[in-house]
Structure 1
Amino acid sequence: MTGISRRSLMIGAAAGAGALALGSASQASAATFVKGADISWMPQMEANGYYWLNKSGVRQDLFTILKSYGITAISLRTWVNPSNSPTDGHCSIQETVRMAQRCRDAGMQVLLGFHFGDTWNSVGVQKPPRAWANMSYAQMRDALRRYVDDSLQLLKAGGVTPGWVKIGNEQNSGICSPVGSVSKPSQMTGLLNGAYDVSKQVFPATPVMVHLAQPQKMDSIQRFFNAYRGNGGKWDITGLSSYAQGGNVQPIIGNMRTIQSTYGKPIMHVEYGGPRGKANTVRDGLRQFISGTKGFGGLGTFFWEPAGYPPFTGYDMTAWDSNRRPTAAMDGFLNV
């Protein structure tokens, strides 16, 4: 999610082919513009007695409700050694594989996102897993490669081929700081290229993305990509987070177009959301992002954790109310 501050608020309250070719396999994955959602909280919510109603107030399977809005893909995060916190833990690879199987059985594609941490990593924070914290660069590179390989092998053994693999989360400043920070570009690139190479060994046809936040801050985007590309960084898709609303949407779509043309990889808008109390505004922003990114060959748009609702979480950038019904924000996926 864009900015650790919003997630920190939550933590406290809760204690389509692209215009640029990827190669034939990647083009096949991107033949249709993707509408997606991150619902990584779903198993923990269910375990705590939460459920979902559709727009008419009828209790229904969450996957079925999401499909009614045209959603065809689910984003799932995974952490290395997470806690048991319902909101800020879970999502180990074992749990994530089980959730990915549910997505597969529901006919949904899966975007698997590695945070390379034990809990949230985002634009403001990139902490390595505790088990890696004192490793040298060479040790961390080997540990990361083993972790990615073990994780993807579990997914493969579980009968799931991901539509996309995301190596890092909002990694403007690099990953696993300080070893893989952007200020150490060769090490950052070495870690990420290791993750890329292993991903391709296990799932050769699955596109791999890097993920940056805040495309309104082009200097941060340029710093990362100039360092990464300049050191031989490998990636197939550029994932971007933006939670922009109102008059801020169109300028950011323009920046997304520029990022795509400058760095030669198609864009996927992997995180979007907005205040629950401004559902109509969030709906309109979602429509603009979908139509705008479609317009320059973007691959898709994902809503981040729309199905979370209070009191499970105090995070308010979701699209379900405490009455368990979807808000008008979800209508942004329709007819666009």
Structure 2
Amino acid sequence: MPDGKQCEPPGIRRRNVLLGAAAGAGALALGAGPLAIPAQAASFVKGADVSWLPQMEAQGYYWNNSAGTRQDLFTILKGYGITAISLRTWVNPSSDPANGHCGIEETAQLAKRAKDAGMQVLIGFHFGDTWNSVGVQNPPAAWAPMNYSQMLDAMNDYVYHSCNVIKYYGVTPAWVKIGNETNSGICKPIGSVGHPTQMTGLLNAAYDMSKHVFPNTPVLVHLAQPQKLDSVQNFLNAYRDNGGKWDITGLSSYAQGGNVAGVLTNMQTIQSSYGKPVMQVEYGGPVGKPTQVRDSLKAFIAGLKGFGGLGTFYWEPEGYPSFNSYNSSAWDDSTRRPTAAMDGFLAA
């Protein structure tokens, strides 16, 4: 860690927390059960993932508000009613600005910055060294040679340690997300959905260690493409039937226009079928079609509110295309002003 900094509270050392095979389906049900109730009772969350922020600032990027005045990004986001920040973290990332960084030390520092700005924080574990998504679920390189028992031990150690680093920086996350778009499982092939007992064991270990450090923080699992209902159900059925523990179902959807209504219907079905509130943890749309994105965001927020969904997070709205060619952000590269897409938060 940078400068040899001690990143855990005094008296807490990095260690392995051995749960053994029992973790596969039900060990340490720490805080399980009642947390879904306050989550449902909370006001609707409007959020944004801004994990690229430090790397962009290091390259000289900045952000103007809608009036064209340069301002701190968190201040601008709060002006749109955004109260929560989502941050991803990787195990041993590279130094690549767009596809690396986001190690736990950097993530914890940005989480503290968000907290100091008056924002809630969602910490999202990818359980990889770089992007994991609906199509890719690679374990960290250091875990790849491991068998299931060894990987279970590594998972316990990693999540316990990471949560303590977050805690050391004075941040209690409002939510912890275990995995990213895990339709096909995690850390494949060991934790593939085709090996549901092992998949559940790894995710339950992450759940338990999150609760061990943050007993009152709801934990999410995260699935992509709710328009493909069978894919989401395939994971959730396997996870539930093997004793999987979670408090909120996180869903990614970037649907636009006429496709939003069908996705909302499926989201409501997922919520009612599994008895867990849903949260849209990723949203965005073409930077060149901001009014379409604005109207689709409005529709998602209204629809989610209508059936008791918990919130919506815009994914990397600050990510200028010139930074890494990502074309679903919500800031104009030339004026440094937010596009009309952000107005979807104001009108809903």
Residue pair 1:114, 1:166 contacting (<8 A) in 2 also:
yes
CA displacement, residues 248-277 of structure 1 (integer Å, 9 cap, x when unaligned)? 000100000000000110000000000000
The equivalent residue for 2:199 is 188
The equivalent residue for 2:125 is 114
Question: How far off its partner does 1:222 sit?
Answer: 1.1
The equivalent residue for 2:284 is 273
Secondary structure of the 1:251 match is helix
**1:72–1:285 CA distance, 2 compared to 1 (3 A):** same
The equivalent residue for 1:82 is 93
AA aligned to 1:239 is: G
**1:257–1:25 CA distance, 2 compared to 1 (3 A):** closer
The equivalent residue for 2:263 is 252
Question: How far off its partner does 1:313 sit?
Answer: 1.8
Residue pair 1:25, 1:205 contacting (<8 A) in 2 also:
no
CA displacement, residues 203-261 of structure 1 (integer Å, 9 cap, x when unaligned)? 00000000000001011111101100010000000000000001000010000000000
Determine if the alignment matches structure 1 residue 327 to structure 2 residue 335. no
Partner Cα separation in structure 1 for residue 258 and residue 46 of structure 2:
22
**1:260–1:29 CA distance, 2 compared to 1 (3 A):** closer
Partner Cα separation in structure 1 for residue 202 and residue 294 of structure 2:
38
Partner Cα separation in structure 1 for residue 176 and residue 40 of structure 2:
12
AA aligned to 2:68 is: G
Secondary structure of the 2:321 match is coil
Residue pair 1:22, 1:265 contacting (<8 A) in 2 also:
no
Question: How far off its partner does 1:29 sit?
Answer: 7.9
Partner Cα separation in structure 2 for residue 129 and residue 313 of structure 1:
23
The equivalent residue for 1:214 is 225
The equivalent residue for 2:298 is 287
Partner Cα separation in structure 1 for residue 89 and residue 78 of structure 2:
23
Determine if the alignment matches structure 1 residue 67 to structure 2 residue 78. yes
AA aligned to 2:74 is: F
Partner Cα separation in structure 2 for residue 25 and residue 277 of structure 1:
38
Show structure 1 runs of 4+ deviating over 6 A.
none
Question: How far off its partner does 1:157 sit?
Answer: 1.1
Secondary structure of the 1:277 match is coil
Aligned residues: 316
Alignment of 1:128-139 (within 5 A): 128-139=139-150
The equivalent residue for 1:16 is none
RMSD after superposition: 1.2
CA displacement, residues 262-293 of structure 1 (integer Å, 9 cap, x when unaligned)? 01100000000000000000000000000100
1:242 corresponds to which of 235, 253, 277: 253
The equivalent residue for 2:21 is none
Q: TM-score scaled by structure 1?
A: 0.92
Partner Cα separation in structure 1 for residue 73 and residue 296 of structure 2:
23
**1:24–1:83 CA distance, 2 compared to 1 (3 A):** closer
Name structure 2 gaps, 5 residues minimum: 1-31
